[in-house]
């Protein structure tokens, strides 16, 4: 029998599958739009909504002292961009209500005698009430309050010492903090690499899982498995088009990240491409693996969400730092590919680090991709068609004696 | 190679405690139309899947086109065509693209696909509709296109798993004409069906029930040799009551319902007619027609299943 001449022999089985997948994707523009636009849309939503910058926290000041000193002190808070002074109160009982209905996030209480205590060199007391319902914002806001209060306290100390005759005092320790890689500490910069991981993983796993389960549901899988096409050809042939489309999608996210959020790519672009390709391939393998377990598209969707959405969101260090997690959970994060992808992406994009610093992460991604593709190929071969036949229907006929 | 395209010995498949195919043996002559008949779940599809090297047998051997399904699955796959009861084309690809895809997965050269294209379109009756999406075709055309695709690489053996499921009678007839044509060209056709009237088109059939072969031979032979007692067709009112009544009679060999009438096997025709009329009249049931008939394949099949069931019951 004449076979197709030329070309690499191992490509012979993959090529028709790739061509078919592309034709099908072209026929179904909705899925293409889904693959290309949803990531960009998610980036916009998350990029703007998922913001951990603590700025413009609404502030209430309850000044019971009413002196020049107390007004100076509270003025320092209102002058920063971290707090917006919304209410000046004189009755401390009003503070409760404001915090309760979230009209303010933080309240500064200056008791009577504050100014007099300061002037007399006694310990002056203030109280800060923080709405702890938003733990992350609360902690940061309380930190800012502490810092502002400390610097004020230092100034008062110096004034007192100067008044007592010590001239031209210098502070003994000068702390100068400089933030590298993300100088404005902007959440978007930190989040965009994580979002890339999240978006690509979810989209890629779901779309591949669906594409295989659909073939099974429609009976076309059976037709392919009965041909000489090897399961490996089928898996690769199905994944290649989706890897390419996802890469395009990833570039849309990168471009938007740069244009809208100023997220740079400081390191090597090729390294970035390599990491993304490995990560995507692993996700595709995972998608095919899910499809060998799930019999229907609904089940495939649920397993995909459970195995991508949650781990990538929670356990990858995308939002919550891994080092703050309990040890057991930290151990689990080592199994999440997004963790390694994220480390690499942040390093390449924000720090411009070279491969030397995170070759282990890249290696893990490569191993994950190889393992998922290999296992899914094996499972596809074995479980492709093994479904228990239905029980025998009883005949309606009956016999005589 | 001998004159057989397929040789099966002691083929068995178990899924856990459930035996789907139980010690099945048969040979299929080259160029035969071999019918594999049974109810849904009787083990037809499981057998086909083993023969197509999709499923490993638990025990036994099957040689298809000279290749052992367990040892040489790739050679088996390359030498067979397969078409299943489920519509197995891509609805979102055109007729032409579907054909090209099957050419691709069977690794045919483009030139060969092009050369085969008119023949496949001829089989499918879709000349001039090359650019139609497969999903827009009527069921009968889809099945014919699927058959055309399964024949694209000119296999010596084709497996058709319930090929006429959900197809209207006219299309079914056309489909069987295609199958006859294949057989004339020397292609071995292995076909499963649960339409027993279709089995009449086969040269050789096997009846499978609960995973076991309960009978086989040519349809004519089976009908001639299986049921030797006279068979009466009774048209009457209250058929279910009539059935229950007759089942208790010692002169009745077997009974079964066919829609609005009964088939009753009796020891002797004349005696049977008299007894039957009398018994039903006594119960107030009116007999409007009573004929001696030749057993159909369905009668044969039921008879074989009952024989098998009795054997199993009497076994210790």
Instruction: State pLDDT tens for residues B211-235.
Output: 999 888 998 888 888 888 889 999 9
Nearest CA in chain A to B57: A386
Looking at residue B186, the DSSP 8-state letter turns out to be T
Residue B265: φ, ψ to 5°: -90, 130
Question: How far does the CA of residue B53 sit from the closest CA of chain A (Å)?
Answer: 7
Q: Verify whether the Cβ–Cβ distance B80 to A5 is below 8 Å.
A: no
pLDDT of residue A131: 82
Average pLDDT, chain B: 89
**Chain A interface, mutation test: which of B104, B146, B159, most A Cβ atoms within 10 Å?**
B104
A391 to chain B nearest CA, in Å?
A: 6
Shortest distance between the Cα of A264 and any Cα of chain B, in A, equals 41
State how far the Cα of B42 lies from the Cα of B34, in Å rounded to an integer.
Answer: 17
Residues of A in contact with B100 (CB under 8 A): 16
Give the burial class of A211: count Cβ atoms within 10 A of its Cβ; 0-12 exposed, 13-18 middle, 19 or more buried: buried
Q: Residue B141, SS3? A: helix
Confidence label for B67 from pLDDT (cuts 50, 70 and 90): very high
- Inter-chain contact B84–A222, Cβ cutoff 8 Å? yes
Q: Kindly state the percentage of chain A with pLDDT values over 90.
A: 5
pLDDT at A387: 45
Of A23, A385, A400, the CB nearest to B247: A400
Alpha helices in A265-395 (DSSP H): 269-293, 297-304, 310-314, 327-333, 337-346, 359-383
Q: Which stretches of chain A drop beneath a pLDDT of 70?
A: 1-10, 50-53, 166-188, 382-401
Smallest Cα distance from A243 to chain B, Å? 21
ipTM reported for the complex surpasses 0.85? no
- Cβ within 8 Å, pair A222-B103: no
Q: Are B40 and A390 in contact (CB under 8 A)?
A: yes
- Interface check for A15 against chain B (CB to CB < 8 A): the answer is yes
Q: Which of A28, A227, A206, A239 is nearest to B93 (CA)?
A: A28
Closest to A390 (Cα-Cα) out of B211, B262, B113: B211
Q: What is the mean pLDDT of residues B258-279?
A: 88
Query: Residue A310: its pLDDT value, please?
Result: 82
Q: Binning pLDDT at 50, 70 and 90, where does residue B103 land?
A: very high
A28 contact B CB<8A: yes
Output phi, psi for B256, to 5 deg.
-160, 155
Residue A399 has its nearest CB partner, among B82, B83, B306, at: B306
Give the Cα separation of A62 and A71 in Å (integer). 11
Cβ atoms of B79 and B115 within 8 Å: the answer is: no
pLDDT above 90 (res B27):
yes
Judging contacts by C-beta atoms under 8 Å, the chain B residues touching residue A1 are: 108, 153
Say how many Å lie between the first and final Cα of chain B, rounded: 42
**Distance of alpha carbon B263 from alpha carbon B239, whole angstroms:** 11
Tokens 């400081």 appear where? A266
With b for 16 or more beta-carbon neighbours within 10 A and e for fewer, the A243-265 pattern comes to: bebbeebbeebbebbeeebebeb
Minimum distance, in Å, between the CA of residue B200 and any CA atom of chain A: 21
pLDDT at A151: 80
Q: How many CB atoms lie within 10 A of CB A185?
A: 12
User: Taking the CB of residue B235, how many other CB atoms lie within 10 A of it?
Assistant: 16
What is the pLDDT confidence band of residue B203, given thresholds at 50, 70 and 90?
very high
Residue B86 pLDDT > 80, yes or no?
A: no
Instruction: Report the interhelical angle of A359-383 vs A269-293 (nearest 10°).
Output: 30
Would you state the pLDDT for residue A129? 86
Asked whether A136 and A320 are in contact (CB, 8 A), the reply is no
Average pLDDT, rounded, for chain A: 79
Structure tokens at B51: 């023969």
Distance CA A51, CA A186 (A): 8
Separation CA B211–CA B18 (nearest Å): 10
The pLDDT value recorded for residue B315 is 58
CB-CB contact of B86 with A218 (8 Å)? yes
Residue/partner pairs of A254-259 with CB below 8 Å, 24 or more apart: A254/A196, A256/A40, A256/A43, A256/A44, A256/A47, A257/A43, A257/A47, A257/A188, A257/A192, A257/A195, A257/A196
Is pLDDT above 80 for B141? yes
Closest CB to B109: pick one of A3, A390, A395.
Answer: A3
Cβ–Cβ under 8 Å, residues B41 and A389? yes
């Amino acid at each position: 029998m004449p076979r197709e001449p030329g070309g690499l022999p191992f490509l012979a089985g993959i090529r028709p599958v790739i061509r078919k997948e592309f034709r099908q994707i072209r026929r179904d523009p909705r899925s293409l739009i889904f693959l290309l636009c949803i990531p960009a849309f998610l980036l916009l939503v998350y990029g703007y909504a998922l913001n951990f910058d603590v700025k413009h926290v609404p502030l209430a000041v309850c000044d019971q002292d009413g002196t020049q000193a107390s007004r100076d002190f509270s003025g320092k808070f209102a002058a920063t961009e971290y707090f917006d002074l919304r209410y000046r109160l004189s009755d401390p009982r009003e503070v409760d209500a404001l915090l309760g209905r979230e009209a303010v996030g933080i309240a500064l209480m200056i008791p009577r005698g504050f100014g007099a205590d300061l002037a007399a060199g006694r310990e002056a007391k203030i109280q800060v009430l923080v709405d702890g319902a938003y733990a992350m914002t609360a902690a940061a806001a309380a930190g800012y309050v502490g810092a502002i209060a400390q610097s004020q306290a230092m100034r008062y100390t110096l004034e007192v010492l100067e008044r007592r005759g010590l001239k031209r005092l210098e502070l003994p320790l000068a702390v100068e903090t400089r933030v590298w890689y993300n100088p404005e500490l902007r959440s978007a910069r930190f989040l965009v690499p994580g979002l890339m991981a999240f978006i690509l993983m979810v989209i890629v796993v779901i779309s591949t899982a669906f594409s295989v389960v659909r073939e099974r549901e429609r009976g076309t899988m059976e037709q392919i498995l009965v041909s000489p096409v090897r399961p490996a050809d089928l898996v690769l042939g199905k994944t290649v088009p989706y890897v390419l489309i996802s890469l395009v999608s990833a570039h849309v996210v990168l471009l938007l990240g740069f244009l809208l959020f100023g997220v740079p790519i400081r390191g090597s672009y090729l390294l970035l491409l390599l990491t993304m390709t490995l990560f995507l391939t692993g996700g595709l393998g995972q998608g095919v693996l899910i499809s060998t377990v799930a019999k229907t598209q609904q089940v495939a969707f649920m397993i995909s969400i459970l195995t991508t959405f949650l781990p990538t969101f929670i356990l990858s260090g995308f939002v919550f730092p891994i080092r703050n997690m309990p040890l057991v959970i930290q151990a689990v994060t080592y199994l999440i590919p997004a963790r390694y992808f994220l480390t690499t992406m942040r390093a390449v994009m924000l720090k411009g680090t070279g491969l030397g610093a995170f070759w282990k992460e890249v290696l893990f991604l490569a191993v994950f991709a190889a393992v998922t593709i290999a296992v899914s190929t094996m499972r596809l071969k074995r479980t492709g068609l093994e479904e228990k036949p239905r029980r025998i229907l009883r005949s309606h006929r009956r016999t005589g004696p | 190679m001998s004159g057989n395209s397929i040789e099966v010995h002691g083929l068995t498949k178990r899924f856990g405690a459930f035996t789907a195919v139980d010690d099945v043996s048969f040979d299929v002559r080259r160029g035969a139309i071999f019918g594999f008949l049974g109810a849904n779940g009787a083990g037809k599809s499981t057998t086909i899947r083993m023969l197509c090297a999709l499923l490993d047998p638990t025990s036994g051997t099957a040689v298809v086109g000279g290749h052992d399904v367990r040892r040489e699955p790739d050679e088996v796959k390359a030498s067979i065509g397969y078409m299943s009861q489920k519509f197995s084309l891509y609805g979102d690809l055109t007729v032409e693209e579907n054909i090209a895809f099957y050419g691709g997965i069977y690794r045919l050269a483009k030139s060969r696909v092009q050369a085969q294209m008119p023949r496949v379109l001829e089989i499918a009756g879709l000349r001039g509709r090359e650019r139609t999406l497969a999903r827009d075709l009527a069921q009968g055309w889809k099945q014919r296109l699927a058959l055309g695709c399964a024949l694209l690489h000119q296999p010596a053996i084709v497996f058709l798993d319930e090929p006429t499921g959900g197809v209207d009678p006219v299309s079914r007839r056309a489909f069987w004409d295609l199958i006859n044509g294949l057989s004339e060209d020397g292609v071995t056709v292995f076909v499963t069906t649960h339409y027993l009237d279709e089995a009449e088109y086969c040269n050789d059939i096997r009846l499978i029930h609960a995973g076991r072969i309960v009978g086989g031979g040519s349809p004519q032979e089976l009908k001639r040799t299986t049921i030797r007692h006279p068979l009466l067709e009774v048209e009457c009112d209250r058929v279910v009551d009539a059935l229950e009544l007759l089942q208790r009679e010692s002169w009745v060999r077997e009974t079964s319902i066919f829609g609005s009438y009964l088939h009753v096997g009796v020891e002797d025709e004349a005696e049977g007619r008299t007894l039957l009329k009398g018994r039903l009249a006594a119960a107030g049931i009116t007999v409007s027609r009573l004929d001696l008939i030749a057993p159909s394949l369905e009668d044969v099949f039921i008879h074989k299943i009952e024989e098998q069931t009795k054997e199993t019951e009497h076994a210790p």
